[in-house]
Amino acid sequence: MTITPIKTAEEYTTAMNNIRQLWDCPENSKEADLLEVLSILVEDYEKKQYSITPLDPIEAIKYKMEEEGLNQKDLVKYFGSKERVSEVLNKKRPLTLRMIKNLYHNLGISADSLLAL
């Protein structure tokens, strides 16, 4: 088998089929090395073809609120006041570094999403 970068959907499908065949191979074998290389190539192809852009910061907050069943009142401790929560969620006030840190540490919202422009 010749190893080359994955450039097409057909090559991707072939690589995925090869990975499935090698999945239960013994550790530290030539097959395991091939499995690792194919996995790296597939990951590279997927990053290029299916990149996921971070959510808008406000959409990320609203998504987390919905997911956790939170309302604006629940965010006051992270924003400072109920008015500030409303202003931020309505995009009338930007997130501050303190707010971003609070949301990241306390709600687990990704920093990538909170810092997206």
User: Where residue 73 sits, what CATH number does that domain have?
Assistant: 1.10.260.40
Tokens of 60: 């990320």
- The domain in which residue 38 lies consists of 9-49
pLDDT band at residue 52 using 50, 70 and 90 as cut-offs: confident
Do 61 and 88 belong together in one domain? yes
Do residues 45 and 86 both lie within one domain?
no
Q: How far apart are CA 2 and CA 25, in angstroms?
A: 19
Q: Which residue has the tokens 């969620």?
A: 89
57 within 8 A of 95, measured Cβ to Cβ: yes
Which amino acid, residue 57?
P
Helix (H) or strand (E) holding 20: helix 9-22
Report the interhelical angle of 30-49 vs 9-22 (nearest 10°): 150
Q: What confidence tier does 114 reach under pLDDT thresholds 50, 70, 90?
A: very high
Assess if residue 4 is contained within a domain. no
Global confidence as pTM: 0.57
1 domain-assigned: no
* Residue 92 domain flag: yes
**Is the same domain home to 98 and 78?**
yes
29 pLDDT above the threshold of 90: yes
Structure-derived torsion over alpha carbons of residues 70, 73, 78, 84, reported in degrees to the nearest 10: 130
The number of folded domains in the chain is 2
User: Do 63 and 20 sit in the same domain of this protein?
Assistant: no
Position 2 in a domain: no
